[in-house]
Amino acid sequence: MLRSVRRRPRPATTRLRVRTVLAALAGLVLVCGFAVVVGSGELGWQRVVGEIVAQVTGTTSPLSEREAAIVWELRAPRVLLAGIVGAALAGAGAAFQGVFRNPLADPYLLGAAAGAGMAATLVMVLAPAVTSWLVGPVPLAAFAGALGGVGLSWLLGRSAGHGTGTLLLAGVAVTAFLTAIQTFVQQWNTDTIKQVYTWTLGGLNVTGWSDVWLALPYVAVAAVVLCSCARLLDVLALGDAEAASLGLRPGLLRFVLLGAASLATAAAVAVSGLIGFVGIVVPHVVRLLAGASYRVIVPLSLLGGAAFLILADYVARTAMPGELPLGVVTAFAGAPFFALVLRTTKGRTP
C-alpha cells in the first residue's frame, strides 16, 4: 500500500545568495544609467551616452561644455544623492522594523523628522541666508535636529524603562513636543511658511556635489553597521530572553542598531527634507520577494531603496513641466502599499 507523501513547506531564505546581490546591483546600475542618460533637458539620450563614452575613452564629446556640465554637475550628483537617501531610509526602516518587531515601523519613529523639521524651521526663520559655507545652514541644522530628536527620545525612554514599548512612547511624546515648537515658530513668522512647507515635502534640488559629500560618509558607516548586525536582528526577533541565552546583550544591540539607523536617517533628512514611505515600502517588498531573514532584508533594502528613490526622483523631475516634490511621488506609490500592509498585518502587530 502506497503512502501519501506530503510536500514539506519550503524553508524561508536565511542566506543572502551571491546571484541575488549581483542581480540587485545590476538593477541599480541600470536605474542609475537610465536616470543620468534620460532627463527633462533636450540633450538626447544618444548624445549623453556619447559624452559618457568620450569621458571613458578620451575621445571628442558630442556635447558642448554647458551641456556636459548639466550631465556631470546636475544630473549625476542628483542621481547619486537620490540613491544615498533611498538606501539610508530603506535600510533604517528595515532596522526599525526588526528592533521593534513591528512591520509598520519607519525611520522617523523616534523623533528624527520632528527634530529636523524644528531645527530647519528655526534656521529659515532666524538665520539669514549664508552663501559662503560649503554646505548650507539648513542641511546642517536638520542633521543636528534629527540626531537631537532621537537623543531626546532615547534619554526619555531610558529614564522611564528599558523596553521597546517605552522607547516608542517616548518617541511619540518628543515628536509632539518638537512639532509644537515648530508650529509656534511658523505662526509667528508666516512669511517663511512656503519655504518650510516645500522643505517638508522633500526634494533633491542639488546644485553640485556638496550634498553628496555631506551625506555619504554617515550613510556608509550606518550601512556597514546595519549589514554587520543583520544576522543578530534575526536572533533579537526571538525575544530578549532567548537572545540573552545565546550570549547577546539585547539592550546594547538595540542601542547600536537604532543609533546607526538614526544616523542614516539624519543624514538623509539633512539633504532631502522629509520623504515618507521609503522605509516601509522597500523592506516589505524585499521581504515578499527574497525572504524574511534580516540578513537578506537589510542589504537588499539598501540596494532596493536606492533604486526606488532614483526612479521616484526621475518621475518627480520629468512628469510635469514644473518639478513635483519628491515626497508627493513616494506618497502616491507608498500610501496604497501601506494600506495593504496594514490590512495584511491586522491583529499581528504588537
The count of C-alpha atoms lying within 13 angstroms of the C-alpha of 158, restricted to the half-sphere facing its C-beta, is: 10
Rg, the chain, Cα only: 22
Rounded Cα distance, 250 and 260, in Å: 15
Spatial CB neighbours of 121, under 8 Å, sequence gap ≥ 6: 182, 185, 186, 192, 196
Secondary structure (DSSP) of 195-222: HHHHHHH------SSHHHHHHHHHHHHH
Rounded Cα distance, 212 and 76, in Å: 10
Which residue blocks in 101-209 are alpha helix, DSSP H? 112-126, 137-160, 164-188, 193-201
- Using CB atoms within 10 Å of the CB of residue 102, give its burial: 0 to 12 exposed, 13 to 18 middle, 19+ buried: middle
Q: Among 74, 76, 329, 29, which residue's Cα sits nearest to residue 203?
A: 329
Each residue's pLDDT, cut to its tens digit, for the chain (350 residues) gives: 344 434 444 444 567 788 889 999 999 999 999 999 887 667 777 888 888 888 888 788 888 888 888 888 888 999 999 999 999 999 999 999 988 887 778 888 888 889 998 998 888 887 655 544 556 788 888 899 999 999 999 888 888 766 677 888 888 999 999 999 988 888 888 777 888 888 888 888 776 788 898 899 999 999 999 999 998 888 888 777 787 887 788 888 888 999 999 999 999 998 888 898 899 889 988 988 888 899 999 999 999 999 999 999 999 988 877 788 898 999 888 888 777 766 765 544 44
pLDDT at 345: 58
Q: What is the pLDDT of residues 14-35, one digit of tens each?
A: 677 888 899 999 999 999 999 9
Statement: the pTM of the whole predicted model exceeds 0.85 = yes
Yes or no: is domain 66-341 CATH 3.40.640.10?
Answer: no
